[in-house]
A and B are shown apart, each in its own frame.
Chain A
């Protein structure tokens, strides 16, 4: 089924075998509560890696039975991160989540050459799925968090991740808009030039699984009327499922505008490692954390 609202992810997960989440250094209320909610909804199984005493204390404080989790006891965040990654590599968990440790340490555990979760040459990126008010479907976009200024190769990888994420959400042939400063192919503006190249590659079957159009300015991607006025014929215009951002600033501003000004829900996942990785921040709403867990479970 095609998921058009984030809530629908729960329905789909409810009908499938539960995936096992491994939360690294899950000793804080935020993490434990988010995992607990997902476990209680019956959409995942939860493995918490962290200080067992602290975990049990938090559970007790919030009236949660700690027996709903599998708990792996350890005493430091660094150890927790490597233990969590080990569990995944041993096949005892299906996807990863960050607890109270710093993003830096979390990422280092994933990226560790020998013991991490990366295949050689893989590109790690970040995909967001938003349910923006005033838009008729979900919007999948990246990279707003990991790759600051993607080069052509990285943009191609991100485009593929966006398409893959759409497929997991049941969108068979997602429409991908390649955001640029202008819809003109201006060879000296990298966002325009790279978009033209990626579009051509998709036309030649070098990128598969979706319809790719670019360069496009934002109005043409999300607003059919603007596209009509400007005489753009592409089926992507005004009906995009995915947006490739040319750099982290533009993506991040868009992300935060959706959350803070539009007050819309969204979720995100780190993609490119052997398993999806949840990377929520304390600033995220409870709802958004739950959605992120669901998204990663869907993709695991």
Chain B
């Protein structure tokens, strides 16, 4: 798949209704985001929250009564807990955050007894970007969850992103480990992690992908850069996945691109037993739709 729209097309072609449990579906933003995929027939939302409030909001959206469920739980924490419970018990396939604080929402997702994260699993975030000036989707991590990933967290980010790439039909994704330079230096600890990781991949300790790093963005995404800089890399300016060194870099990278270059994205929480959608309100309508489509793809193609 080379575009985000292809993800939606693929999901539609599966002829399934993915059950999405929405924790506190009490704002127009959330309901707006879910209605398009619902109307297109590949999502069956289960809206959890104050029924009165939800029904009021639904008046503005032309959703068929049969195409969704509402579960009346007025307390936000309880609504979130119920949504997580449903996903955990296979009563829903995807969890989505509505009008509840990210902190409260994630606390429930991370709960040892009730949550969705397997013991010792690392939670992270991968985002698929469709950019006007890149010839295919570009997956990046971690734009939202891990502030300063250590070696093990970086490896987890890679494994999650590789799995997403596989689901997008990329059999052997090219993973670039991004720094400001391609040189290894003790003064830049991320380059040390990257050198270790690329050697681990070379030794088959990380599978089903091609990894190289440290690389800068040019070497990762511009085929001309390798010759100019005299750097030989299996990535060869054709990366599918960028692992960015920390949250600030990743977040600034994607927001800068969205703002100045344009494009759309689809992002998901990684590491949970089922897909978890957490969207920022400031994202475009299309991006929200693509987030939902991606979550359906990840739920259905396992």
B199 interface residue per 8 A CB criterion:
yes
Across-interface contacts of B232 in A (CB, < 8 A): 203
Q: Complex formed: what's the CA distance from A70 to B194 in Å?
A: 56
State which residues 190-213 of A face B: CB under 8 Å: 193, 196-197, 199-201, 203-206
Q: How many A-B residue pairs have CB under 8 A?
A: 43
Q: Is the CB of A197 within 8 A of B183?
A: no
Pairwise interchain contact B195-A201, C-beta atoms closer than 8 A: yes
Q: B196 in the interface, Cβ–Cβ < 8 Å? A: yes
A215 to B202, CA, bound (A): 11
- Which residues from B are CB-within-8-Å of A199? 195, 199
Q: Establish whether residues A184 and B203, one from each chain, have CB atoms under 8 Å apart when the complex forms.
A: yes
Given the complex, which residues of A lie within 8 Å of B192, measured CB to CB?
A: 197
Any B CB within 8 A of the CB of A292? no
Instruction: Let me know if B184 and A200 touch, CB within 8 A.
Output: yes
Q: 1/0 per position for B201-244, CB-CB distance to A under 8 A?
A: 01101000000000000000000000000111000000000000
Residue pair B230, A185 in contact (C-beta under 8 Å): no
**Once bound together, how far apart are the Cα atoms of A238 and B195, in whole Å?**
24
Q: Which residues of B contact A203 (CB under 8 A)?
A: 232
Q: How far is the CA of A215 from the CA of B196 in the complex (A)?
A: 11
Chain B residue nearest in CB terms to A234: B202
With contacts A205-B230, A206-B183, A206-B184 known, is A200 near B203, CB below 8 A? Answer: no
Q: Which residues of A contact B230 (CB under 8 A)?
A: 205
Are A201 and B184 within 8 A (Cβ)? Answer: yes
The residues in A between 75 and 107 inclusive whose CB is less than 8 angstroms from any CB of B are none
Q: Chain A nearest CB: distance from B159 CB in Å?
A: 16
CB pair B183–A204 under 8 Å, yes or no, is yes
Q: Are A197 and B203 in contact (CB under 8 A)?
A: no
Within 8 A of B (CB), among A153-169: 153
Chain B 126-152: CB-based contact to A (< 8 A → 1; otherwise 0): 000000000000000000000000010
Q: How far is the CA of A213 from the CA of B113 in the complex (A)?
A: 47
Docked CA distance A201–B214 (Å): 10
Instruction: Please give the distance in Å from A215's CB to the nearest CB on chain B.
Output: 8
Distance from A235 Cβ to chain B, minimum over Cβ atoms (Å): 14
B301 lies within 8 A of chain A by Cβ: no
Tell me whether A248 is interfacial, beta carbon within 8 Å: no
Contact of A204 among B182, B186, B203 (CB under 8 A): B182
Residue from A183, A196, A201, A204 in contact with B196 in the complex, judged by beta carbons closer than 8 Å: A196
- B63 in contact (CB, < 8 A): no
> Do residues B196 and A193 form an inter-chain contact, with CB atoms below 8 A?
yes
* Residue from the set A183, A193, A197, A201 with the largest chain B CB neighbour count within 10 Å: A197
Partner of B198, one of A153, A187, A200, A206: A200
Instruction: Decide if A152 is an interface residue (CB 8 Å cutoff).
Output: yes
Residues from chain B with a CB closer than 8 A to the CB of A206 are: 183-184
Which residues in B have their C-beta under 8 angstroms from that of A152?
186
Give the nearest-CB partner of A196 in chain B: B199
* Smallest beta-carbon distance B204→chain A, Å: 8
Residue pair A197, B184 in contact (C-beta under 8 Å): yes
Q: Contact between B199 and A204 (Cβ–Cβ < 8 Å)?
A: no
Name the A residues within 8 Å of B182 (CB-CB): 204
A196→B183 contact, CB < 8 A: no
Once the chains are docked, how many angstroms separate the CA of A184 from the CA of B202? Answer: 9
A187 to B196, CA, bound (A): 7
User: Does A197 contact B196, Cβ atoms closer than 8 Å?
Assistant: yes
Give the B-binding residues of A (Cβ under 8 A): 152-153, 183-185, 187, 193, 196-197, 199-201, 203-206, 215
Q: What 20 new A-B contacts, CB under 8 Å, besides A184-B200, A185-B202, A197-B195?
A: A152-B186, A183-B203, A184-B205, A185-B196, A185-B199, A185-B200, A185-B203, A187-B196, A196-B196, A196-B200, A199-B195, A199-B199, A200-B195, A200-B198, A200-B199, A201-B184, A203-B232, A206-B183, A206-B184, A215-B199
16 contacts between A and B (CB under 8 A): A153-B186, A185-B196, A185-B199, A185-B200, A187-B196, A196-B196, A196-B199, A199-B195, A200-B184, A200-B194, A200-B195, A201-B183, A203-B232, A204-B182, A204-B184, A215-B199
